[in-house]
Homo-oligomer: A and B are copies of this chain.
Amino acid sequence: MNDLMSQAVDLMIAGMGFVFAFLVVLVFATLLMSKLISRFAPPEPATPARTPRAKPKAPASVDPDTAEAIKKAIAQFRSRHKK
């Protein structure tokens, strides 16, 4: 077995060992986190204040007036449709 081969084997042992160690730790940390949250945190957190400058990117492409009219039209259509 040449030098590269032994380096590769060393790398595999260290690497897979570390990857498993890291992700096993993460499994337990995640379980712990979920447990702590479900115990201490309120189930539905208060919505934090939105930053004022973050105006919504995608403006409603239909103006509110029209939108309401459409809604009414649909409601009317549906009520008729049911009959």
**Could you say which residues of chain B place their CB within 8 Å of the CB of A62?**
61-62
Interface residues on chain A, size class = 10 to 19
Task: Kindly provide the distance from the CB of A55 to the nearest chain B CB, expressed in whole angstroms.
Answer: 14
Copies of this chain, complex-wide, total 3
A interface, by DSSP: helix, strand, loop or mixed?
helix
- Cβ of A59 < 8 Å from any Cβ of B? yes
Chain A interface residues (CB < 8 Å from chain B):
58-62, 66, 69-70, 72-74, 76-78, 81
Q: 7 tightest A-B contacts by CB?
A: A61-B61, A73-B77, A69-B74, A73-B73, A73-B74, A76-B77, A58-B61
**20 chain-A/chain-B pairs, Cβ below 8 angstroms:** A58-B58, A58-B59, A58-B61, A60-B61, A61-B61, A61-B62, A62-B62, A66-B70, A66-B74, A69-B74, A69-B77, A69-B78, A70-B70, A70-B74, A72-B77, A72-B81, A73-B73, A73-B74, A73-B77, A76-B77
